[in-house]
Amino acid sequence: MAGSAPEIDLTASARLSARGYRLVQWTGVTPPEHLDDLAVLIGRMSTDAPTGDLAFEPQRWDAERVRERDAVAVRNGVRAAVTAAQATDGRLVAYTEASTCVVADGFSSQGDTLVALAHRGHRLGLWIKLANLELLLRAHPEVRAIDTFNADDNRWMVAINEQLGFRPLRRQTDWELGL
């Protein structure tokens, strides 16, 4: 991500568009009270994120799988910063995750970001990503660079990343062989 700060106050405008929602943040493993909601959202990543012509099967996630995923991350020295958005009924409807790894100090990887279909169009994606970058830097002030990847046809995520100041670094082609 480029070092320059966005010129306008993106957080204020995103928060305004997303009024009525509340942020929930944590680092490390998922708090038990959020496991079920997060599992639903993680499962939607496999169906909702555009992947060009590649065919991915829908993934099934539940609280136990999220717990296992978190435990594997801890064992591998991967530390997560997560920001989620809560609707007025208390359910999580959006989340974003960035991670650092003990073997790669100063570097962070932006992982999943998803807003549940019924809640899109309120700039929740931008708001949670901005808030998560702040959380990440509070938890890991040593971070100097963050990378991510997007499918070319994911113009919604690409637009958010461009607003945040991410710049293209390299292109990758994924190949698929049907067996």
Ligand X SMILES: CC(C)(COP(=O)(O)OP(=O)(O)OC[C@H]1O[C@@H](n2cnc3c(N)ncnc32)[C@H](O)[C@@H]1OP(=O)(O)O)[C@@H](O)C(=O)NCCC(=O)NCCS
- Looking at the Cβ atoms of 75 and 167, the one nearer to ligand X is 167
Characterise 19 by phi-psi region: left (phi > 0), alpha (psi -120 to 50), beta (else): beta
Hey, CA dihedral for 159, 164, 169, 175, is it positive or negative? negative
CB of 142 to ligand X, least distance (A): 25
Residues in touch with ligand X (CB under 6 A): 45, 48-50, 113-115, 120-126, 150, 154, 156-157
What is the strand order of the sheet 22-27 is part of? 22-27, 78-86, 92-101, 107-115, 145-147
CB of 152 to ligand X, least distance (A): 11
- Looking at the Cβ atoms of 79 and 122, the one nearer to ligand X is 122
- Looking at the Cβ atoms of 75 and 88, the one nearer to ligand X is 88
- Nearest residue to ligand X by CB is 125
Cα of 63 vs its chain's centroid, Å: 18
CB of 129 to ligand X, least distance (A): 9
